[in-house]
Chain A
Amino acid sequence: MEFLNYFDNVFTVYHIALLVGGTFAGIILGALPGLSPTMSVALLIPFTFHMKPESGLILLGAMYTATVAGGAISAILVNVPGAPANIATALDGHKMAQNGKAKNALHYCFISSFVGGVFGVFILIFFTPPLAALSLKFMSTELFWVAILGITIIATLDSKSVIKGLLSGLFGLMLATIGEHPTNAVERFVFTEHLESGVHIVVGLIGLFAMPQVWNLLENFYAKKNQVFSATGDATLIESFKLVFSKLKALSIGSIIGSIIGIIPGAGGQIAGIVAYDQSKKVSSNRENYGKGEPEAIIAAESANNSMVGPSLIPLLTLSIPGSPTAAVLLGGLLIHGIFPGHDIFTKNPEVIWTFIDSLIIAQILMLVIGLFLSRHSKWIMKVPDNYMAVGILLLAVFGTYSIQNNYSDVLIMFTLGTLMYFGSKAGFSPVPVVLGLILGTMTEEKFLLGNLIGNAKGSSFQHFTSGTINIVLISLCIASIVYGVYSSRKSKKN
């Protein structure tokens, strides 16, 4: 119950202001179609540079929580999910909007998101410390394989093509090798003066997530837009609460499935929402109404995608493997504040980590209150024109990148990387494995070099990397995730 000791840190005027601001902005950004939670959190990271680590993490955590929930607003009113996590919500939520019950759908969405979210944070609280203790057994070779496993899982789950996913992750690792060698400071791949400082993690994050959104908004600017429905309906707040809590089966299925999928590295909210929707449909007595505007469907999907948020941080805090793409960005946020995930995270930085985790509970409460308030005015939020959004993101991306090191070269790198990624994504490459490769690159190389040194001293580097129970388990998991990726990609092509 150590987490109870740090609630005082959350209840300061400054931190509450950060939570309210982060939640408010997060719901609006999540509600804007085309702006992903991952991009929102990436753009926010530079603003946290000058804050204390716990304050920065509180702001990022609030934004993460709120954008996932906010994405349901556009899913319901426009039939365009604000985030991939809200795809399942759109199936029945938009039907309810068409039936004149958008307000009811938005109520169900925020209430079930709150329940799922709180459930997920408690999973995070109780499962993280034991897993962190387990990571004590991980030495250099094990940590090398953990990083490779993280990239492999994200690469195979986040891409339609396993080969392209793995290539994306490896390109990310190569990006991390630009600049100084981690141990002897020799410059590598510095073909121009702009590459002298290498590719900073946040520069990569902003470039890979923000710039493609700018180009996407401009490319599709003249495309026909969907109709925006008003948040009308007959439900009072009390009736909505009663209805959500009367659907305990859907709520439990969503919360449990979301938490389990959250812990699986790389899986993310999209899978959580769809699996929970599917499972709740199977056991529901109203299954024939699924797809026609069934409240149970919204409750299952939304409780799942928000309960995923907390558990997605478990592999992140203990093993540096993010449970979702946005968690990968949060990993970058942790590293720039000098917090390194691992077995000693709760002993070296207990105040920072527990304050951050506690703040996630408060963020869920604020998400419920602010979300219910904003959902009344949500029609206007979605009327922000795409050209204004695009230029707003562009300016924030440039400012955020420059402010990291006051370096113009970073702006050039961000712009070039983002533009290349946009065209790369058209060819089936995903930015998430690239980012993870970039984030984990330095650590992976350091562990590789250390393991290689020890292995050579023992007589065989290869044997050192491939012996020991944990190493064998991790290598097997890498192979299993690739095999599963190939199998599921072939299956989806057949379907």
Chain B
Amino acid sequence: MNSQIKLSTIIVTLVSAFLVYASFILGDSENYLFPRLISATIAILTIMLWFEKGEADKSTNFKDLMPGIAIASAFILLLKILGFYLASMIVFFTLVMYYTKPTESKDFWRVLLIKLGVAFVFTFALYGLFTLLLKVHTPEGLF
């Protein structure tokens, strides 16, 4: 069992143990009958997982992935403060600026202006589609 598979198996085991604890200890037998059945089956399968000869997992490129997750997480947290549209424009611009390929134009200010323009047009299109046309609520925040 390689280290990545071992780590995922440990996490699954912890989740299974928590589910068994929450179903059998925290919950009563009347309302938690079905979750008990499921969590017990999960526990049995988790034990079997330890004996499974797993293949090597796909490796994760954390270096390129984590900045994206961080920017998107900040967007989710800022949604309620800034509102959907302003937060969307900021996350759009930040993500496409951060993820810039070396083959793109060397003129930084040109790239910045183009991406800012696209972010603005895209957000305005979302506003037109969601708020004006579909009349659907979005997180409001300040704006």
Interface set of A (CB-CB < 8 Å, partner B):
47, 50, 160-161, 163-164, 166-167, 170-171, 173-174, 177, 181, 184, 186, 188-189, 214-215, 218-222, 385-388, 390-392, 394-395, 398-399, 402-403, 406, 408, 411-412, 415, 419, 423-424, 426-428, 444-445, 448-449, 452, 493
Contacts and interface: CB of A to CB of B under 8 A. Distances in A.
B61 A174 contact: no
A398 B22 CA distance: 30
A164 B79 CA distance: 35
Contacts of A167: 12, 42, 45-46, 49
Interface string B65-100: 100110011011001100010001001100110011
A218 B15 CA distance: 28
Given A395-B91, A426-B58, A427-B5, A221 B49 contact: no
A448 B96 contact: no
Contacts of A189: 22, 35
Interface in B27-79: 27, 31-35, 37-39, 41-42, 45-46, 48-49, 52, 54-55, 57-58, 60-61, 64-65, 68-69, 72-73, 75-76, 79
Contact of B42 (A174, A399, A415): A174
Contact of B96 (A174, A219, A387, A412): A387
Given A163-B45, A174-B39, A402 B55 contact: no
18 contacts: A163-B49, A163-B52, A164-B49, A166-B45, A167-B45, A167-B49, A170-B38, A170-B45, A215-B69, A218-B64, A218-B95, A385-B101, A387-B100, A394-B72, A398-B88, A403-B130, A448-B33, A452-B33
Nearest to B119: A391
A390 B45 contact: no
B110 to A, nearest CB: 16
B116 interface: no
Contacts of A161: 52, 54
A391 B22 contact: no
Given A47-B134, A173-B38, A218-B65, A387 B48 contact: no
B42 A171 contact: yes
B80 A391 contact: no
Given A390-B99, A411-B79, A448-B37, 14 more contacts: A170-B41, A174-B19, A177-B38, A215-B68, A219-B60, A221-B101, A222-B101, A394-B72, A395-B91, A399-B126, A415-B73, A427-B4, A427-B8, A444-B34
A312 B65 CA distance: 35
A160 B84 CA distance: 39
Question: Which 6 residue pairs are nearest across A and B when measured between Cβ atoms?
Answer: A427-B8, A218-B68, A387-B99, A219-B65, A445-B34, A391-B95
B132 to A, nearest CB: 14
A299 B54 CA distance: 37
Tell me the dominant secondary structure on chain A's binding face.
Answer: helix
B118 interface: yes
B139 A408 contact: yes
Contact of A394 (B49, B91, B138): B91
Contacts of B106: none
Given A391-B91, A399-B130, A412-B76, A219 B64 contact: yes
A422 B75 CA distance: 19
A189 B39 CA distance: 13
A391 B134 contact: no
Given A170-B42, A390-B95, A403 B55 contact: no
Nearest to A174: B38
B124 to A, nearest CB: 13
B136 interface: yes
Contact of A215 (B32, B49, B65, B136): B65
A167 B79 CA distance: 34
B75 to A, nearest CB: 8
A411 B41 CA distance: 30
B79 A395 contact: no
B122 interface: yes
A452 B55 CA distance: 40
A148 to B, nearest CB: 10
A395 B94 CA distance: 13
Contacts of A394: 72, 75, 91, 95
B95 to A, nearest CB: 5
A3 B123 CA distance: 43
Contacts of B55: 160, 428, 493
Contact of B34 (A221, A428, A449): A449
B31 A184 contact: yes
Contacts of A166: 45
A387 B134 CA distance: 26
Nearest to B101: A222
Contacts of A415: 72-73, 76
Contacts of A391: 91-92, 95-96
A426 to B, nearest CB: 5
Contacts of B49: 163-164, 167
B116 to A, nearest CB: 13
A164 B42 CA distance: 10
Contact of A388 (B46, B84, B96, B126): B96
A403 B72 contact: no
A221 B45 contact: no
Interface centre among A166, A177, A184 (most CB of B within 10 A): A177
Contacts of A428: 8, 54-55, 57
A214 B65 CA distance: 10
Contacts of B46: 167
Contacts of B100: 387
A231 B19 CA distance: 53
